[in-house]
Amino acid sequence: MRVTIIGAAGMIGRKLAERIAATGAIGGTPVDAMTLVDVIEPDVAADFKGTREVFAADLTQSGTSERVIANRPDIIVHLAAIVSGEAEADFDKGYRVNLDGTRALLEAIQSIEGYCPRVIYASSLAVFGAPLPDVIPDTHQLTPLTSYGAQKAMGELLLNDYSRRGFLDGVGIRFPTICIRPGKRNKAASSFFSGILREPLNGVEAILPVEDDVRHWFASPRAAVGYIEHAATMDTAQLGAQRCMTMPGVSATVGEQIEALRAVAGDGAVALIRRAPDPAVAQIIAGWPRAFDTARALAAGFVAEKSFQEIIAIYLEDEMGQPALKGA
């Protein structure tokens, strides 16, 4: 099987590539060729035993999509995107990358007669916007309130239609906010959700820009990779015409995150969180959903964590090489 990961220099793409290199497979199916693409050349999975191609490319540039699928990959994982805060700050760039780049890829696939790869599209909870029910089903109308959410919703519609027409076999994954993200914060409005845990666990001050009662939907990086692995080999007949699903996760408030941190790492870690309200971030987050009914994804075989302490324990194990500190 041939796998192409677009956005392979990002956190999820890197972890997915490393997972494939370590196991030689995706979702239990052997992988003999892997292509890794991003706007900067990905530097991952050098130990992959099969054929490995790595290059820098921009899907918005003419000819790039054709190059990306030149070896006719069986599975294409499309993770490349401008994140929420940046897409809101730079309107033109957001649409160019998140919408135009996605359509260019799908058009390149469609142009090859007889070619029908599995395409896994990274979508977002931002496709939903207020007013919202307390618990949101997959059938809820897409009403995004940010440019990023609108771009992802358009991508979902394209994935559905190109799948309906038989040009590709799509699976759309609405990722929860991935937490705890390793490394440094990015330009996503949701970045602080990881920061208020990651920084204290590393003995560094963290900035909290919203109130403790803000509730959101979370999963670990390990779960994110698991979603993609499952999507790569699942039977898509059960999805019908609606190819996009919200993934299972953990609903938690900021206050509950902090208490999970306290249970795992103690009061000293919590004391490193400094509250500094940011109205711009708060306004973006206020329009986001808080909890989901993910019965459809669960029935299709997707899984995630059951508690926030479990999410913290995974960060400690995967990123810091240690077990949870106090009973996660």
Average pLDDT value over all residues in the chain: 94
**Which range marks the domain in which residue 109 is found?**
2-176+219-246
Phi-psi category of residue 7: left, alpha or beta, with phi > 0 → left and psi -120 to 50 → alpha = left
* 107: Cβ contacts below 8 Å, ≥ 6 apart: 65
Does residue 115 lie within any of the structural domains? Answer: yes
Residue 231 lies in a domain: yes
- For residue 50, being part of any structural domain is answered with yes
* CA 321 and chain centroid, separation: 23
> Is 254 inside any structural domain?
no
In a domain, 152, yes or no: yes
In a domain, 189, yes or no: no
**CA quadruple 201, 180, 7, 98: dihedral sign:** negative
How far CA 291 is from CA of 138, 153, 227, 257, 258, in Å, comes to 11, 18, 18, 15, 18
pLDDT digits (tens, 9 = 90+) for 248-295: 999 999 999 999 999 999 999 999 999 999 998 888 888 778 899 999
Residue 299 has pLDDT above 70, yes or no: yes
- The verdict on whether omega for the bond into residue 131 sits within 30 degrees of 0, i.e. cis, is yes
Give me the number of domains the chain comprises.
1
Angle formed at CA 309 by CA 308 and CA 311, multiple of 5 degrees: 60
109 is a domain residue: yes
Q: Which residues pair with 33 in a beta bridge?
A: 2, 51
Please report whether residue 190 resides in a domain: no
Return the active site residues: 148
pLDDT given for residue 328 in this prediction: 43
Looking at the DSSP assignment, which residues form a beta bridge with residue 217?
A: 251
CATH number of the domain residue 131 falls in:
3.40.50.720
| Per-residue pLDDT, 259 | 97
Confidence label for 233 from pLDDT (cuts 50, 70 and 90)? very high
Cβ-proximal residues to 254 (8 Å cutoff; 6+ apart), any chain: 193, 196, 208, 210, 211, 212, 213, 214, 215, 216
Candidates 149, 170, 328; CA nearest to 240 is: 170
Classified as helix, coil or strand, 176 is coil
Question: In the structure, what pLDDT confidence band is assigned to residue 190 with cuts at 50, 70 and 90?
Answer: confident
Any alpha helices (H) in the chain, and if so which ranges?
11-23, 64-68, 84-89, 91-94, 101-110, 147-164, 191-201, 221-233, 254-265, 267-270, 279-286, 295-299, 308-320
pLDDT digits (tens, 9 = 90+) for 56-106: 999 999 999 999 999 999 999 999 999 888 998 999 999 999 999 999 999
The residue that leads in pLDDT, 286 or 30, is 30
- The fraction of the chain above a pLDDT of 90, given in percent, is 87
Mind listing the pLDDT tens digit for each residue in 195-223?
999 999 999 999 999 999 999 999 999 99
